[in-house]
């Protein structure tokens, strides 16, 4: 990992962590293991994995096996620096028994085919990798990401770097199969589920019926979980989650919408002024919304439309480009690739002169695309007066919301943000929230074109709108995403506690000085684990609120105190005192 922190601060933190976890984990005399990945360079990502894994170890004693390592293409494309020794030090501080550098191991195996990983004192014999189809799919997606291209080049099969990618994938898959086929893995904790180094481990885990915990890189501690009992085996990891999240939303959250309304409204207000956003959303002065009614919107719309040469009286459809090489195929997509969706939609827009189209780039696309894809599509359609291509960073949210009548994306966050404020969105694919009834999710390409046709007609009639239910669902989703499924614990500072020295100081103080009784982390993980829930939650979503507290603010009246009725005290784990593990050393 890459960590620019004071060395003294780091050592202080490692000492604090070692001491804390020594006393907070049960003795590890079981043969079970929990596999944790540490391939990401940002320490915050790995910390979330390690903390979650240790929380599972309190329920289910197991050895901690950390997989790490860095490969040349990853280092060149994504990481600023990667120090495997640092990963080892941090993992040992968190009580890891084995830290395996997988790429190093692959190198050893190239020289000596009998080399294999050593886990919990046992040398494992390397198994066969997964099938060709799976390996090819992951190699293709990873190649696109690392080469920063929107689609595989036509001659990819002959390129040496592609072949190297395939060989690496096969080697990684063999290692993962080895680890998971032992039958003693209690869980896999990973921050990503795509690309070869992460995705192939998830594949092996699922086939070996091992629960997979997918931690998120935002908030305090957020995690999704795919447990074998609920894994139908028919879709990708994210496809399975989409279904389960939809079920949780429908069965446990939607019936409670009246209790949660006040909380959801507060979160919707805070989201407008750009508070509580996911870590990858843009911040800054251009990301807060001040508009509050249609008259103000129309006034600003007149000015903003003039910038693009648009007629404010005609509907405007905004198409939000994706980071074109970002996890291709990770969930259902209607088109062969994100780039195909964008280019085909642009071609459709060129024909539909009865609407106006605003194509926005992805603010981080330089990190995902080296071919100038957006610029090339813009160049192709430059002669059309009813289409505009614009960098999204140069459009403030006020301007965007005043102009957009319909949003189009595949799985972008705009499809849960815009409907919360009354702007309809069409999704040409699935995402975490696509089963929650927030946006219009279409299931195949024909339906996609048909829905666009109908939407344009409806827009001309003034009937293109969201229903009140969609708004409520979207706001409830915002609550679930930012509050309900975001666990607050002193052991994991919020994502924005940065730079690294601040983060280490904060965590070190938690390890040294905050007593762990009723730390929300442990009961929450226990609840998720025992109930096999698809997401980690602050409180049990099914339980009604513990006690009535402040009444919801009447509309139009300012209040400084938010509602707390929905945040009950976390239920203490029956019988166990979290401060004293059995058999303290």
Q: Check whether the bond before 499 is cis (ω within 30° of 0).
A: yes
CB of 404 to other proteins, least distance (A): 8
Query: In terms of CB distance, is 160 or 462 closer to other proteins?
Result: 462
Structure tokens at 284: 């800054």
- Which H/E stretch holds residue 93? helix 84-93
**Separation between Cα atoms, residue 371 and residue 475, nearest integer Å:** 37
566: CB partners within 8 A, 6+ apart: 259, 260, 263, 539, 545
Asked whether 563 and 549 are in contact (CB, 8 A), the reply is: yes
Query: In terms of CB distance, is 142 or 398 closer to other proteins?
Result: 398
Query: In terms of CB distance, is 383 or 557 closer to other proteins?
Result: 557
Beta strands in 311-351 (DSSP E): 316-320
Residue 371 is classified by DSSP as: S
Q: What is the 3-state secondary structure (H, E, C) of 524-574?
A: HHHHHHHHCCCECCCCCCCCCCCCCCCCCCCCCCCCCCCCCCCCCCCCCCC
Q: DSSP 3-state assignment of 111?
A: helix
CB of 424 to other proteins, least distance (A): 9
CB of 471 to other proteins, least distance (A): 5
Query: In terms of CB distance, is 548 or 555 closer to other proteins?
Result: 555
Q: What are phi and psi of 371, to 5 degrees?
A: -105, 5
Query: In terms of CB distance, is 308 or 495 closer to other proteins?
Result: 308
CB of 312 to other proteins, least distance (A): 9
Query: In terms of CB distance, is 531 or 559 closer to other proteins?
Result: 559
Residues that bind other proteins (CB under 8 A): 261-262, 265-266, 268-269, 272, 285-286, 289-300, 302-304, 306-307, 394, 396, 398-399, 401, 404-405, 420-423, 462, 465-466, 471, 475, 552-553, 555-559
DSSP string, 450-466: HHHHHHHHHHHTT----
CB of 250 to other proteins, least distance (A): 22
CB of 4 to other proteins, least distance (A): 11
Q: What are phi and psi of 327, to 5 degrees?
A: 50, 60
CB of 48 to other proteins, least distance (A): 29
Cα–Cα nearest to 292, from 264, 268, 261, 315 = 268
Query: In terms of CB distance, is 557 or 585 closer to other proteins?
Result: 557
CB of 386 to other proteins, least distance (A): 18
- Which H/E stretch holds residue 226? strand 223-226
Query: In terms of CB distance, is 513 or 557 closer to other proteins?
Result: 557
Query: In terms of CB distance, is 150 or 563 closer to other proteins?
Result: 563
Asked whether 415 and 439 are in contact (CB, 8 A), the reply is: yes
Q: DSSP 3-state assignment of 120?
A: coil
Query: What is the pairing mode between strands 223-226 and 212-215?
Result: antiparallel
Q: What is the chain's Cα-based Rg?
A: 25
CB of 569 to other proteins, least distance (A): 25
**Separation between Cα atoms, residue 519 and residue 544, nearest integer Å:** 21
Structure tokens at 292: 């509050």
CB of 87 to other proteins, least distance (A): 25
CB of 336 to other proteins, least distance (A): 33
Cα–Cα nearest to 327, from 368, 370, 359 = 368
CB of 255 to other proteins, least distance (A): 20
Query: In terms of CB distance, is 445 or 553 closer to other proteins?
Result: 553
Cα–Cα nearest to 429, from 239, 148, 226 = 239
**Separation between Cα atoms, residue 400 and residue 363, nearest integer Å:** 14
Structure tokens at 160: 């040496």
Query: In terms of CB distance, is 163 or 299 closer to other proteins?
Result: 299
Query: In terms of CB distance, is 113 or 284 closer to other proteins?
Result: 284
């Amino acid at each position: 990992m890459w960590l620019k922190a004071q060395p003294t601060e780091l050592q202080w933190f490692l000492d604090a962590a070692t001491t804390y976890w020594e006393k907070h984990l049960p003795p590890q005399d079981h043969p079970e293991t929990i596999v944790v990945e540490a391939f990401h360079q940002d320490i915050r990502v790995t910390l979330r994995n390690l903390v979650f894994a240790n929380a599972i170890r309190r329920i289910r004693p197991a050895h901690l096996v950390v997989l790490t390592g860095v490969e040349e293409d990853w280092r060149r494309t994504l990481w600023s620096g990667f120090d495997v020794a640092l990963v080892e030090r941090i993992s040992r501080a968190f009580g890891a028994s084995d830290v395996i550098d997988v790429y190093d191991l692959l190198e050893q195996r190239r020289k000596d085919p009998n080399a294999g990983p050593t886990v919990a004192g046992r040398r494992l014999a390397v198994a066969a990798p997964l099938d060709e189809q799976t390996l090819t799919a992951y190699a293709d997606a990873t190649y696109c990401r690392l080469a920063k291209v929107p689609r595989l080049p036509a001659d990819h099969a002959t390129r040496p770097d592609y072949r190297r990618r395939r060989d690496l994938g096969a080697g990684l898959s063999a290692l993962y199969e080895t680890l998971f086929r032992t039958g003693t893995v209690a869980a896999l904790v990973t921050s990503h589920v795509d690309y070869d180094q992460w995705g192939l481990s998830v594949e092996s885990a699922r086939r070996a019926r091992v629960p997979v915990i997918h931690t998120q890189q935002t908030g305090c501690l957020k995690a999704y979980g795919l447990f074998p009992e609920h894994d139908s085996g028919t879709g990708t990891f994210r496809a399975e989650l989409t279904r389960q999240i939809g079920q949780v939303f429908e069965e446990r959250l939607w019936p409670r919408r009246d209790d949660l309304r006040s909380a959801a409204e507060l979160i919707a207000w805070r989201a407008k002024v750009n508070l509580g956003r996911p870590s990858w959303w843009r911040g800054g002065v251009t990301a807060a919304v001040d508009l509050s009614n249609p008259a103000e919107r129309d006034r600003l719309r007149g000015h903003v439309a003039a910038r693009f040469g648009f007629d404010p009286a005609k509907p405007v459809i905004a198409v939000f480009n994706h980071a074109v090489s970002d996890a291709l195929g990770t969930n259902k997509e209607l088109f062969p690739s994100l780039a195909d969706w964008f280019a085909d939609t642009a071609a459709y827009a060129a024909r539909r002169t009865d609407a106006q189209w605003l194509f926005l780039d992805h603010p981080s696309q330089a990190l995902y695309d080296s071919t100038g894809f957006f610029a090339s599509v813009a160049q192709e359609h430059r002669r059309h007066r009813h289409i505009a291509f614009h960098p999204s960073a140069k459009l403030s949210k006020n301007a965007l919301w005043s102009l957009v009548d319909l949003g189009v994306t595949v799985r972008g966050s705009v499809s849960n943000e815009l409907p919360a404020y009354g702007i309809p969105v069409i999704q040409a694919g699935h995402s975490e929230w696509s089963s929650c009834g927030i946006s219009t999710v279409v299931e195949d390409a024909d339906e996609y074109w048909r829905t666009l046709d109908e939407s344009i007609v409806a827009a001309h009639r003034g009937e293109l709108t969201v229903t009140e239910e969609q708004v409520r669902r979207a706001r409830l989703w915002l609550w679930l995403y930012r509050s309900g499924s975001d666990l607050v614990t002193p052991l994991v500072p919020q994502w924005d506690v940065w730079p690294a020295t601040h983060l280490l100081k904060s965590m070190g103080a938690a390890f040294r000085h905050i007593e762990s009784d009723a730390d929300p982390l442990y009961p929450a993980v226990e609840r998720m684990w025992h109930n096999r829930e698809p997401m980690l939650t602050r409180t049990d979503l099914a339980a009604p609120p513990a006690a009535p507290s402040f009444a919801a603010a009447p509309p139009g009246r300012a209040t400084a105190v938010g509602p707390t009725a929905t945040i009950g005290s976390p239920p203490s784990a029956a019988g166990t005192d979290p401060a004293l593990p059995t058999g303290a050393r």
